[in-house]
Amino acid sequence: MSMSTLQRPVAGVAAAGQGAQRSSAALRPVASPVPFTAHRANFSSKRVLHQAGRVAPSRVVVRAEKAPEGVARTPGHPYPWEEDFDLLGDKVKEVTDQLLPDLRGCNIWLVGMMGSGKSTVGKMLANTLKYAFFDTDSVIELAHDKRPVSQIFAEEGQDYFRQCESQIIKELSPYRNLVISTGGGAVLKPQNWGYMQLGIVAWLHGDTELLARRVAKDGIEKRPLLAADAPEGADMEQVAKAKLDTLLEDRRKYYENADVVVTLEGYGQDLEAGAPTAAVMYRLLTAINDKVQAKKREQAERMNFTIEGAEQLRTMRTMESPAGGPQADASQSP
């Protein structure tokens, strides 16, 4: 088995990320180069990461989603603006304007179970922040001649897939101005946390019933961890939920290390499908902003201090030594 060494992407490779138009200078590496290696991967990371950006969809904006005509507002909705997308768009702009100056290009890593919408929410978030977007699963697929994740799992094994995933996380971490959607199991490897915690880690958390509905609708054959040993003719939603329950139980303690947690709950007309993408993105923006502002206040408080008895501190003055050179003399302050 041969080993292919993948050269580190030059500054600006990530600038072609999904939904963002940025200069290469804005996405320069902020750490020393890191070698990117992977087994049996016959490609250069520069080419793959560039392609990952080129396949970006058309620009997504919050106002592209509209509440159905004639739908009454849900009584007791905890976030009533989520049912008014014009109002939601205004609130997104408001929180973004406050957040961006303090975010300073910090990367945002999205973690969570399959079906949580990390890629969909991540693309919209990247567009809103004018960041580049990367999905680690998509990069791995591009690295393997566009073979789907399910095929890579079957042919190469889960350990190999996780190795590739870790290498991509390592590769992207030195850059700034990125939103990165990770695989559901990325949180299991401590080395991944070492890179992700250089940015802000956000857990998109949904009930397993909601996640099961979503993945069953898309087809669990695309999800190798769910499709394995699934009984023929079984209710795929029930199969998905049972396996998701087990996976979440194993992973919860890792997800809980995230900096922020964003729920996917929907209300009223969104009860079954979960909150709309724009609503989840706004919740995520708000959670990140709250975290950043709290950190900012904490730092300000640390700088706001007084020294009791400062008038009694000894001061230093210079006087001539017997040898003719200067010496320090300590005396009481007047």
Residues in CB range of 220: below 8 A, 6 or more apart: 226, 227, 230, 236, 239, 240
Q: Is the pTM of this model over 0.85?
A: no
Q: Are 24 and 11 in contact (CB under 8 A)?
A: yes
Q: How far apart are CA 209 and CA 274, in angstroms?
A: 10
CATH number of the domain enclosing 72: 3.40.50.300
Tokens of 77: 């909705």
DSSP track, 248-307: HHHHHHHHTTSSEEEE----GGGTTT-S-HHHHHHHHHHHHHHHHHHHHHHHHHHH----
Give a yes or no: residue 319 inside a domain. Answer: no
- The strand pair at 178-181 and 108-111 is best described as parallel
- The strand pair at 108-111 and 260-263 is best described as unpaired
Q: What percent of the chain has pLDDT over 70?
A: 61
Give a yes or no: residue 106 inside a domain. Answer: yes
Give a yes or no: residue 251 inside a domain. Answer: yes
Query: What would the pLDDT profile of 168-217 be if each residue is shown by its tens digit?
Result: 999 999 999 999 999 999 999 999 999 999 999 999 999 999 999 988 87
Give a yes or no: residue 210 inside a domain. Answer: yes
Give a yes or no: residue 321 inside a domain. Answer: no
Tally of domains in the chain: 1
Give a yes or no: residue 293 inside a domain. Answer: yes
Q: How high is the pLDDT of residue 87?
A: 83
The more confident residue out of 286 and 86 is 286
Average pLDDT, the chain: 75
User: Is residue 70 scored above 70 in pLDDT?
Assistant: no
Q: How far apart are CA 189 and CA 283, in angstroms?
A: 27
Residue in the structure block whose two tokens are 């490609």: 43
Which strand (E) or helix (H) includes residue 242?
helix 236-255
Torsion of Cα atoms, 48 then 49 then 50 then 51, to 10°: 50
Bridge partners, residue 180, by sequence: 109, 134
Which strand (E) or helix (H) includes residue 238?
helix 236-255
| Closest to 199 measured CA to CA, from 104, 276, 127 | 104
Could you list the residue range(s) of the whole structural domain that residue 148 is in? Answer: 3-303
Give a yes or no: residue 328 inside a domain. Answer: no
The more confident residue out of 45 and 114 is 114
User: Is residue 6 scored above 80 in pLDDT?
Assistant: no
Give a yes or no: residue 42 inside a domain. Answer: yes
